[in-house]
């Protein structure tokens, strides 16, 4: 099976910006062009970023946590 690759990749780096992140994500989602993927790279946020990201169920959105100790 061949996996389809989107034509546009959007990367959003973030660290403790849970108050601004929805604006950036929603602006990508609201674009008229739909052949995209969104990669949110979280560099160890200690705010509610993981909880916010769990609210987005769009399969084109990928959330990557980097540098956060998982206990």
71: pLDDT strictly greater than 80: no
CA torsion 15-64-26-58 (nearest 10°) is -160
Q: Please give the pLDDT value at position 68.
A: 59
| pLDDT-based confidence at residue 2 (cuts at 50, 70, 90) | confident
In tens, the pLDDT along 30-58 reads 999 999 999 999 999 999 999 999 999 99
Say which residue the tokens 């946020």 belong to: 45
Question: What's the pLDDT score for residue 50?
Answer: 97
Check pLDDT > 50 for residue 24: yes
pTM given for the model: 0.85
Residues 6+ apart with CB under 8 A from 39: 9, 10, 11, 12, 62, 64
């Amino acid at each position: 099976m061949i996996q389809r690759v989107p034509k546009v990749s959007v990367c959003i780096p973030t660290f403790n910006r849970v108050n601004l992140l929805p604006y950036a994500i929603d602006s990508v989602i609201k674009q008229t062009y739909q052949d995209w993927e969104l990669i949110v790279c979280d560099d160890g946020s200690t705010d509610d970023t993981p909880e916010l990201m769990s609210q987005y169920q769009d399969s084109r959105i990928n959330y990557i946590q980097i540098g956060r100790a998982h206990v």
